[in-house]
Amino acid sequence: MENGKIIDLMNYKILPIAGDASFRSFYRLFLGKRKKILVFARKEKYKNLVIYSTINKFLRANKILAPKLYSHNYSKGLIVIEDFGDLSFYKVLLKKKKRFKVYKKLVDLLIKIQKIKPKSRIKKNTYGSYAIDKYSNKYLFKESDLFFDWYLPLFFKKKKVKKIKIKSKKILLKLYNKLNFSNSYFVHRDYHAQNLMLVGKKVGVIDSQDALIGNPAYDLASLIDDVRIKNSTKLKKQVYNYYLSKTLKLHRTNPQKFLEDFNILSVQRCLKIIGIFSRLFKRDKKKQYLKFIPYVWQLLEMRMDSEIFYELKKILDKNVSKKIRKKIIQV
């Protein structure tokens, strides 16, 4: 491969492994007892390979376990990285009745990540340096717009969707402008159990290519309001309070303001995820994500149980019935 570390794939046994929601395919390479992962990106090669490798290198330099890059041919859409195995914390948690101890471990790692001082630019192989962008209303709207652009059109005509979107965005702008914390923390942007791997006794972090510098509540909301794992409200509060007890000195602010940020970003993320899962179905023919949407609605409703969401809740309740929210789209 082009960085000089040539791997002859003819020497390896190659088996496909389960992919994710991106434009990447994954293969396990076997050579005796040695294993590696081959990643092939069909689209968005720069983000899915170059940026991914760069962020992983940055995390590793800061003592966070992320996949090591062994070899790459970015122009061909290929990288070979360290194999963390198949045991994600999603699988670990599904087998546990008492989950709080596991979540404490994941929160501890999140806090360690949030103590990293994010750099505006990171060196990367061959391509100079990569600038980690900051979260802004532009990003927040780009994500929450997916709800209006992909989910609502599954049920409503274009004219009605446009009307709902215009009204909702005015409300969302007020909410996003309420965010208290400055964008000064490393944010993974998909910090949930399926992207956290049990590697020996350590936690490995994958799927980091979307990282930004942003609000510390975002990744916590991703972990606690994981759309794939149903947890009790009691456990969610336990995990949240554990994080807060460990970070009061880090944040040095009123815990009530942090809770407001957490709720706003959880609502924003839920809108984004409903939109993404709808897009995966409509555009990419990946229907397996549809089954999660009714639960994402439950999370959205739970986090909107606060006076600041009165206007947003009103417009959603008026236009998207309980029947639609519970519906798994027929395919």
Rg (CA), the chain: 20
**Do 129 and 202 lie in a common domain?**
yes
Contact 248, 255 (CB under 8 A): yes
Q: Rounded CA gap, 73 and 237, in Å?
A: 45
pLDDT at 76: 87
The domain boundary, picked from 17, 47, 82, lies at: 82
pLDDT at 21: 58
Which DSSP letter does residue 134 get? B
**Do 301 and 181 lie in a common domain?**
yes
Counting Cβ atoms within 10 Å, is residue 179 exposed (0-12), middle (13-18) or buried (19+)? Answer: buried
pLDDT at 242: 96
Question: Cα dist. 242→105, 145, 152, 155, 226 in Å?
Answer: 11, 32, 36, 40, 17
**Do 28 and 67 lie in a common domain?**
yes
Two tokens, residue 262: 């957490």
In tens digits, the chain (331 residues) has pLDDT values of 444 454 556 666 788 887 665 678 889 988 767 889 999 987 778 888 888 999 999 999 999 999 999 988 888 888 999 999 999 999 999 999 899 999 999 999 999 999 998 776 776 655 567 788 899 999 999 999 999 999 999 999 999 999 999 999 999 999 999 999 888 899 999 999 999 999 999 999 999 999 999 999 999 999 999 999 999 999 999 999 999 999 877 666 688 899 999 999 999 999 999 999 999 999 988 888 999 999 999 999 999 999 999 999 999 999 999 999 987 765 4
**Do 117 and 235 lie in a common domain?**
yes
**Do 142 and 210 lie in a common domain?**
yes
Two tokens, residue 7: 């791997």
**Do 74 and 142 lie in a common domain?**
no
Q: What single letter denotes the amino acid at residue 198?
A: L
Confirm whether 2 is domain-assigned: no
**Do 255 and 128 lie in a common domain?**
yes
Domain count, the chain: 2
Q: Rounded CA gap, 39 and 72, in Å?
A: 9
Which DSSP letter does residue 135 get? P
**Do 234 and 257 lie in a common domain?**
yes
For residue 74, give its domain range: 9-82
**Do 270 and 135 lie in a common domain?**
yes
